[in-house]
Amino acid sequence: MKSTSKYEMIQHLLAELKQPAYRFQQIADAIFKQRIGEYDRMTILPKGIRNELIKNLGEHVLNVTPVMQKTSSQVNKVLFAIEGGEHIEAVQLSYKRGWKSYCISSQCGCGYGCSFCATGTIGLKRNLTADEITDQLLYFHLNGEALDSVSFMGMGEALANPNIFDTIMILTDPRTFGLGHRRITVSTIGILPGIDRLAKEFPQVNLTFSLHSPFDEQRSELMPINNRFPLHDVLNKLDQHIRDTGRKVYIAYILLRGENDSNEHAEAIAALLKDRGPWEHLYHVNLIPYNSTDVTPESFHQSDKERVQKFVTILKSKGIKVTVRTQFGTDIDAACGQLYGHNKL
C-alpha cells in the first residue's frame, strides 16, 4: 500500500485552499531552516492555514516518537515508537572531524532471517512509510544536528520496501532535506529488482551489497536469500549497475571467527571480484567486525585482530580495495547487526 507523505499532503492541502505557490516553501523553510516542529508555531502562516494543517496532519511535524536514547562516545542511538505499538531504531555517528552520519531503518524488523543479525530474529512486522523513514532524520535535524550522510543500514532490507524510492525523492528534494544523492547509501542483501530500479531512478546513490560469504552453500546457510537470488546472479547485476552508473559498489563483509574469516575465504572473495571486466576497480570491500547481541546465536564471535589483518593482506595482495570499518556503538547495541527495536535499558 503506497502511503502519501506529509510533504505531498501539505501540497494537496494548499492547492485545495487555493494558496499561492510560495506557501509550500514557507512551510518547508519553517521545518528545515528554522527547525520548527509544530505547525502552530509557524507564525509566518495565516492562522487559518495553521489550523487546517493541524486538523489534517496533527500538531507535530514528526510522526515518530522518540522514547529512549542511548549514548556512548561517538554514537547516539534513538528508539522511536511508531504507529501500531511497534519500535524502530536509528543511529547517529559522530566522526572526530565533525562529520555526522546516520544509519536509519527502512522496515520494522526484517523478514530475511540472516543468522548473525539481531533484527532478523524478530521477523518482519511491516514496511515503514516514507514519513517514518525520513522522520528518523528529521528528529535529529529539528534538534539542531547536521545531516551529512545517510545510510539505509538500520533495521530491515531497504530494497524490499517500495516506499524507499519515495523516501529518496524526499531526502534529495532541494526544498526539504536537500541531501546530495552521493551522500546516501542503500545497503542490500541482493534484491535484484530493487538494484535495477535504484540504478534507473537514482544512479548516483551509493550501493552496498552484503556478501558475508563467497561460497554459495555457506552464504545460503547464513543468508537464506541466497537461494532466491544466488550470488553469481547478484554479481552480474552489480557489474551492470557499475556499467550503467559509473559508480563504485561497496561489498560489506561481516567477519565471523572460524566461520568466514579463513585465508580461503579471502582468496575466494578476490577471485569473485577479479576479471569481471574493465570496471572491476570500482568494487570496494568493507570488512565489518562482528557484533554479538543477546538474541543472536552464541556460536558467532568476532575475528581476532591478527586474523583480520591477514584477511586484509590477502585481499590487498590480489589487488582488491579494502577498508576495515571503524567500530562504533557496540557498547550500546548500536553497531551493525545489533538493532533490535526493543526498549530494555
| Residues designated as active site | 89, 336
The sign of the torsion formed by the CA atoms of 135, 136, 142, 148 equals negative
Do 177 and 6 touch, CB atoms closer than 8 A? no
CB atoms within 10 A of CB 6: 25
What values do phi and psi take at 164, rounded to 5? -65, -30
Q: What are the C-alpha distances in Å from 262 to residues 14, 189, 213, 267, 273?
A: 60, 22, 11, 9, 17
Q: What is the DSSP letter of 280?
A: G
* DSSP count for the chain of H helices, then E strands: 11, 12
* Cβ-based neighbours of 205, under 8 Å, separated by 6 or more: 168, 181, 182, 184, 185, 186, 198
- CA 313, distance to chain mean position in Å, is 29
